[in-house]
A and B are shown apart, each in its own frame.
Chain A
Amino acid sequence: MIWVVAALLFWAGAWWLNAWLAGSNMAATRAVKLAVPVIFGVTILVVWEALVRGLQVPGVILPPPTVIGAKFAASLAILWEDFVQTFMKGALTGFIIGCGAAVGTAIAIDRSPFLQRGLLPVGNFIAALPIIGTAPILVMWFGFDWQSKAAVVVVMVFFPMLVNTVQGLASSEVMQRDLMKTYSASYWQTLFKLRLPAAMPFIFNGLKISTTLALIGAIVAEFFGSPIRGMGFRISTEVGRLGLDMVWAEITVAAIAGSAFYGTVALIEKGVTFWHPSQRS
Chain B
Amino acid sequence: MKSLVPILTVVAAIMVLWYGAAVWMNSQWTLDQAARAGTEPSFSFIVADTMAQDRPKLPAPHQVISELYDTVIDKKITSKRSLVFHAWITLSATLLGFVFGTFAGILLAVGIVHNRAMDMSVMPWAIASQTIPILAIAPMIIVVMNSMGIQGLVPKAFISAYLSFFPVVVGMVKGLRSPGAMQLDLMRTYHASQPETFWKLRLPASMPYLFTSLKVGIAASLVGAIVGELPTGAVRGLGARMLSGSYYGQTIQIWSALIMAAVLAASLVAIVGIIQRITLKRMGLAQ
A and B physically associate? yes
Contact residues of A with B, CB < 8 Å? 15, 18-19, 21-23, 27, 32-33, 36-37, 39-41, 60-62, 114-119, 121-122, 125, 128-130, 132-134, 136-137, 139-141, 211-212, 215-216, 219-220, 223-225, 231-232, 235-236, 239-240, 242, 244, 247-248, 250-251, 254-255, 258-259, 261-263
**B242 beta carbon closer than 8 Å to chain A:** yes
Q: List 12 A-B contacts (CB under 8 A).
A: A18-B121, A36-B121, A60-B147, A61-B148, A133-B258, A134-B258, A137-B255, A140-B246, A216-B133, A235-B140, A239-B143, A250-B136
CA A33 to CA B116, docked complex, whole Å: 11
A254 close to B219 (CB less than 8 A): no
B266 close to A129 (CB less than 8 A): yes
B97 to chain A, nearest CB (A): 14
B140 close to A244 (CB less than 8 A): yes
B135 close to A220 (CB less than 8 A): yes
B265 close to A128 (CB less than 8 A): yes
A219 close to B139 (CB less than 8 A): no
**Max chain A C-beta neighbours (<10 A), residue from B6, B8, B117, B133:** B133
Contact residues of B with A, CB < 8 Å? 2-3, 5-11, 14, 25, 57, 116-117, 119-125, 128, 130-133, 135-137, 139-140, 143-144, 147-148, 215, 219, 222-223, 226-227, 230-231, 238, 242-243, 245-246, 249, 251, 254-255, 257-258, 261-262, 265-266, 269
CA A18 to CA B3, docked complex, whole Å: 54
* Contacts beyond the supplied A133-B242, A236-B139: 14 A-B pairs with Cβ under 8 Å: A15-B117, A22-B119, A61-B144, A118-B3, A118-B7, A125-B266, A129-B265, A130-B222, A132-B227, A136-B242, A141-B25, A141-B57, A211-B131, A248-B140
- Chain B residue nearest in CB terms to A265: B131
B143 close to A130 (CB less than 8 A): no
Given known A27-B116, A40-B125, A129-B266, contact A254–B9 (CB-CB < 8 A):
no
Contacts of A27 in B (CB 8 A): 116, 120
A136 to chain B, nearest CB (A): 3
Given known A133-B226, A133-B258, A224-B243, contact A128–B219 (CB-CB < 8 A):
yes
Contacts of A251 in B (CB 8 A): 136-137, 140
B251 close to A140 (CB less than 8 A): yes
B120 close to A36 (CB less than 8 A): yes
CA A27 to CA B242, docked complex, whole Å: 51
**Max chain A C-beta neighbours (<10 A), residue from B10, B119, B255:** B10
B144 close to A130 (CB less than 8 A): no
CA A15 to CA B111, docked complex, whole Å: 14
A212 close to B133 (CB less than 8 A): yes
B131 close to A18 (CB less than 8 A): no
A136 close to B243 (CB less than 8 A): yes
CA A248 to CA B141, docked complex, whole Å: 11
Contacts of B139 in A (CB 8 A): 223, 235-236, 239, 247
State which of A132, A137, A212 has its C-beta within 8 Å of the C-beta of B223: A132
State which of A116, A137, A236 has its C-beta within 8 Å of the C-beta of B254: A137
CA A258 to CA B137, docked complex, whole Å: 14
Contacts of A33 in B (CB 8 A): 120
- Chain B residue nearest in CB terms to A32: B120
A136 close to B246 (CB less than 8 A): yes
CA A97 to CA B182, docked complex, whole Å: 48
- Chain A residue nearest in CB terms to B130: A212
B154 to chain A, nearest CB (A): 15
State which of A118, A140, A219 has its C-beta within 8 Å of the C-beta of B6: A118
Given known A117-B3, A140-B57, A244-B144, contact A130–B219 (CB-CB < 8 A):
yes
A36 close to B246 (CB less than 8 A): no
Contacts of B3 in A (CB 8 A): 117-118, 121
State which of B25, B120, B133, B227 has its C-beta within 8 Å of the C-beta of A37: B120
B147 close to A61 (CB less than 8 A): yes
- Chain B residue nearest in CB terms to A240: B143
Contacts of A211 in B (CB 8 A): 131
Contacts of B131 in A (CB 8 A): 211-212, 258-259, 261-263
Given known A37-B121, A216-B135, A236-B139, contact A117–B261 (CB-CB < 8 A):
no
Contacts of A254 in B (CB 8 A): 132-133, 136
Contacts of A250 in B (CB 8 A): 136
B262 close to A247 (CB less than 8 A): no
